Amino acid sequence: MLFRSMIHLKIEGMTCEHCAKSVREALSKIPGVENVAEVSVARGEALVAGEADTAALIAAVREEGYEARVA
């Protein structure tokens, strides 16, 4: 599977794998996301493949209770 682009997000506030799962699920619902390649609690980041709107990705993470920004 080929992906058009990779969006790297820094995420603050994740403390466990449940947090990562919540973030992964929220990101995967955003139009244009082809794949949530990785969500790392240890590194505080997520890698999203596709052509999604970054503002929508950040808003989805914030709705889950975490802070996010494009890295």
Q: Which residues contact 41 (CB under 8 A, 6 or more apart)?
A: 14, 15, 16, 17, 19, 20
Going from the C-alpha of 38 to that of each of 35, 49, 55, the distances in angstroms are 9, 9, 19
Report the predicted TM-score, pTM, of the whole model to 2 decimal places: 0.91
Residues 38-71: tens digit of each pLDDT: 999 999 999 999 999 999 999 999 999 999 999 9
Query: Span 5-32, mean pLDDT?
Result: 97
Q: What is the pLDDT of residue 4?
A: 67
